[in-house]
Homo-oligomer: A and B are copies of this chain.
Amino acid sequence: MSGNGLAGRLLAGDRRALARVISKIEREDPEVHEIVREIYPHTGSAMSLGFTGPPGVGKSSVISHLIQLYRAEDRRVGVVSVDPSSPFSKGAILGDRIRLSDHFLDSGVFIRSMGSRGHLGGLAAGSRLAALAMDASGCDVVIYETVGVGQGEVEVASAADVVVLCLQPGAGDAVQALKAGVMEVADVFCINKADHPQAKGAASEVRSILEIGHELDPEAPIPPIIMTRGDTGEGVGELREVVREHRKEMEAGGRLEARRRASLREFVVSWATDRLEKELHRRLGRDDPEIMEKVYRRELDPISAAEKIFRDV
């Protein structure tokens, strides 16, 4: 089957075509370029949400309840779940997909896990393309779920219109997220496990940190903090409302378009950079060319080698 036919079926809302396209994206199939060319004009209407936070805070449960609410409004939902690669499990150790399985039989919900291929630029780009494919296939809402709080996760989540940072009480998560630079990209905070005895304390901790940030930079708004319970769904309705409101405000103020532009620019830069990186690894990795031998023998410093290689490419 030609790439064209596949793109056409995806645009018609065919789930199997969507699944196949995302598989092609994952294995970096050369057909992807042609498919993206075809589907891209039909993207841009979906609302995208980034859910990020450390493992174990219950992001998937919150997302699962959120999907139910969107489904009740008859909106189609796509989820791109990004797991950092693991040498043993390739992500299979995660229980998240099991919790999300409630929705596996609903044809209005499309959930896809993407494994990291080692390189983060590649991961961010791949998840971004998967989200574009979901958008083109008719999803009204696309959710990026990322596990962990590292720079790579920030990159993935920050491609979304609205970023929700999920934390749980009592784990010092806020400080960890702060260190990793995640808090600065979060539009909305979700403190899950609201029934935990330290839940209110966690919310005040987050609020204090955000207020310090606001004092340092009065331009930075203080994001709303919502308390949820992933087990019962409590608070998830409020979360949906706050996200909707936030996106509406961003749209009215032009910030949504600015963010989407920045995100597309980021994609273009990282795709081109990734191309160069792969090209360089191919050239340098095979059998240590003379220039790397010189670096190993300390006859040439690594910056000079990099500059020479950069100019040669």
Contact = CB atoms under 8 A, between A and B. Distances in A.
Contacts of A276: 272-273, 276, 310
A211 to B, nearest CB: 10
A183 B84 CA distance: 12
A162 interface: no
B36 A301 contact: yes
Contacts of A216: 88
B151 A150 contact: yes
Interface string A209-235: 100110011001000000000000000
Contacts of A94: 179
Contact of A275 (B179, B272, B301, B306): B306
A63 B37 CA distance: 52
Contacts of A87: 181, 183-184, 213, 217, 220
Interface in A134-193: 147-153, 172, 175-176, 178-181, 183-184
Contact of A180 (B84, B217, B270, B307): B84
Contact of A303 (B33, B217, B220): B33
Given A304-B37, A305-B268, A149 B147 contact: no
A27 interface: no
Interface stretch (A15-23, A72-80, A277-285): A277-285
A41 B150 contact: no
A88 B304 contact: no
Nearest to A261: B296
B306 A271 contact: yes
A147 B213 contact: no
A2 interface: no
The 7 closest A-B pairs by CB, nearest first: A150-B150, A271-B306, A40-B301, A87-B184, A272-B310, A272-B306, A269-B280
Given A41-B298, A55-B175, A264-B296, 19 more contacts: A33-B304, A33-B307, A36-B302, A40-B298, A56-B172, A87-B220, A89-B179, A91-B179, A116-B151, A147-B179, A150-B180, A261-B288, A264-B292, A267-B302, A268-B305, A271-B306, A272-B307, A272-B309, A276-B276
Interface of A: 32-33, 36-37, 40-41, 43-44, 54-56, 83-89, 91, 93-94, 116, 118, 120, 147-153, 172, 175-176, 178-181, 183-184, 209, 212-213, 216-217, 220, 260-261, 264-265, 267-273, 275-277, 280-281, 284-285, 288, 292, 295-296, 298-299, 301-307, 309-310, 313
